[in-house]
Amino acid sequence: MPVALKPKLGIHLSSDAKCSKIECDKFTAINELAKRRGFFWSSFEIYGGSGGFVTYGPLGARLKQNVEAKLRELFVKKLGIFEIESSIIAPGRIFEASGHVDHFKEPMVECQSCHQRFRADHLLEEKGISSAEAEKMTLDEVAKEMDYHSVVCPDCQGKFGYPQRYLTMFETTIGPYSGSTGYGRPEAAQNIFVEFNRLYTAARERLPFGCIQIGHALRNEISPRQGLIRLREFTIADLEFFFDPEEPICDKLKEVENDVLPILLCETRLKECEETTEFTVKDALDKRIILSEWQAFFMAMAKRLLVEIGVPANKQRFIEKLTWEKAHYSSQSFDQEVYVDRWGWVEVSGHAYRTDFDLSCHMKASGVDMTVYKEYPTAVEKEELVVKPIMAKLGPVYKGDSGKVAGLLAKLPAQQIADAMDKDGSIMVDNYQILKEQVDIAKQKIIVRGTRFVPHVVEPSFGSDRLFYVALEYAYGIKDDRVIMSFPRSIVPIQIGVYPLMSKDGLDVKAKEIQNMLASEGFMTEFDETGSIGRRYARADEVGVQLGITIDYDSLEDDTVTIRDRDTWQQVRTPAKNLPKLLHQYFENKINFEQLGSIIRS
């Protein structure tokens, strides 16, 4: 009868793998582990590095892909949201129309001694000024507060110059033409808005529908100093959900109406209080805390997403954005925040009701119609003001231009023309003066069978790198002086480790056969035959390998193997031939560990 395989006494992890609370916090411990074991590290290290850029190693790339797969599972697979992929660089006109060129600016100060540059609002936050207060300050107010709090350069203690606004978008030229300005996208949303007409066609010209884009974005941060929390190149997942503002009902609300959302309200924040109020989704809508049903639905789904990647519900909250904090395109905004060891509450997703702002801006700037048509259930008779040019009177005055003048008139709202004629007796259109007697203004009854309108949008936007980091932090734990990364099954970077007890007597050959079988079944596996079995278990726990399968001498006799659980260190014995079926059920959360085989008693 096999017994539980135990690590040999005296086996310890290297000092790098340990981090007591006295020595360092989780942020430091995770960064050390990440570099050593291949989750992530600073890019371009051989050239001294460059702040705000990271490289995801073999384990990190897998974990990040698995986190993004959860986004796709929740939104693309289960909700039928479209997904697109488009370019990172866009013509300048896109971001001029969207308002980013005018609004995507941060207050920056430069040290007069070492000439390092920093975000002024972040320096003030370190002096106890809330982010809400810092964000609404003018440059004069920023300068006054920095002087009052004696803010000096963190690097050399030098004095700062007067603050200035800094555009945090990367600017470039497209092609060899210096006048063809382009920008690296600071978000993935605008690519979706400019492609709305094609997406609407793909949706069979029906609302509501949504589209997500998961991809890289660029923000030329002034002084990124928070690891994965603030990067210059990062991965963002922007989901734009389009709906008719006259039919704003969310048909999926029943699924989440009893989910509880902890919200830090504006009125509470203005009292400088951090206490959240808990609302069910239904209550939050009934009390007008959240204005849009679809926005409330996506907030509930965001909370569920974080739970699924390992963040407990009691470590999440939503913070209502104050008027001056909201992005220029938003009528109501909430940030989803997670509590982390080093930084406190950190934003991981933003939820904005963008109304028709973006589509209207691009429609105006491009001249392309981005409205949709809605047919009424029954035709409606309406009285409409109509302006008709009297060509017999326009012709003698404007001669060859009379057709052009009539066309210009047709583009103006009839009410605007009528008001001008009543007030002044004429109206100027370009450089043409049209007199009252040259037009016929009358009301007429028409049959209206439908109307055109600009759809409204709610947006959940997720920072993939931040989701990755909080998944790491909440997986990190220490048991018996050993680091264990307890990832949820659905995002674990390595599902199964395969270990021959010894690298001889055919155990290694048998182990390789089992690994190949599991790999062909689609499992992410790792083969390790170096060192004692205890050391291999410790290495596997440190990177979060969910299950360890050990092949011993009994395996050669009866074709059974030992399966070890990462978190409990429990072991079961099971026939090798049953592994594919059992493991598929296990990783689909259909069975628990004890159902994988017969428990081995220590």
Q: What is the pLDDT of residue 15?
A: 33
* Contact status, residue 60 vs residue 468, Cβ threshold 8 Å: yes
β-bridge pairing 82-83 and 209-218: parallel
Q: What is the pLDDT of residue 24?
A: 61
The token pair that represents 334 in the structure block? 């909430």
Q: Domain 376-451 classified CATH 3.40.1350?
A: no
Q: What is the pLDDT of residue 380?
A: 86
Q: What is the pLDDT of residue 7?
A: 47
What's the CA gap between 145 and 151, in Å, rounded? 9
With b meaning 16 or more CB within 10 Å and e meaning fewer, what string describes 48-69?
eeeebebebbebbebbbebbbe
Residue 336's closest CA among 503, 209, 507, 460?
460
Q: What is the pLDDT of residue 18?
A: 43
Please give the sequence-ordered ranges of beta strands (E in DSSP) within 356-438, or none if there are none.
Answer: 372-389, 426-429, 432-435
Q: Domain 106-165 classified CATH 3.30.40.230?
A: yes
Please give the sequence-ordered ranges of beta strands (E in DSSP) within 219-329, or none if there are none.
Answer: 233-243, 260-264, 277-280, 316-320
What's the CA gap between 258 and 279, in Å, rounded? 9
For the chain, which ranges sit under pLDDT 50? Answer: 1-3, 6-22
Q: What is the pLDDT of residue 596?
A: 97
Residue with tokens 């809330």: 130
pLDDT tens-digit series, residues 260-302: 999 999 999 998 899 999 999 999 999 999 999 999 999 999 9
Q: What is the pLDDT of residue 14?
A: 35
pLDDT tens-digit series, residues 92-149: 999 999 999 988 888 999 999 999 999 888 899 888 887 767 878 899 999 999 999 9
H or E element in which residue 412 lies? none
pTM for this one? Answer: 0.85
Dihedral, 42, 45, 51, 54 alpha carbons, nearest 10: -30
| The CATH number fitting domain 487-599, selected from 3.40.50.720, 3.40.50.800, 2.160.10.10, 2.60.120.10 | 3.40.50.800
Q: Residue 76 gets which letter from DSSP?
A: I
Domain spans, the chain: 26-77, 106-165, 376-451, 487-599
Give me the residues paired with residue 440 across strands: 388
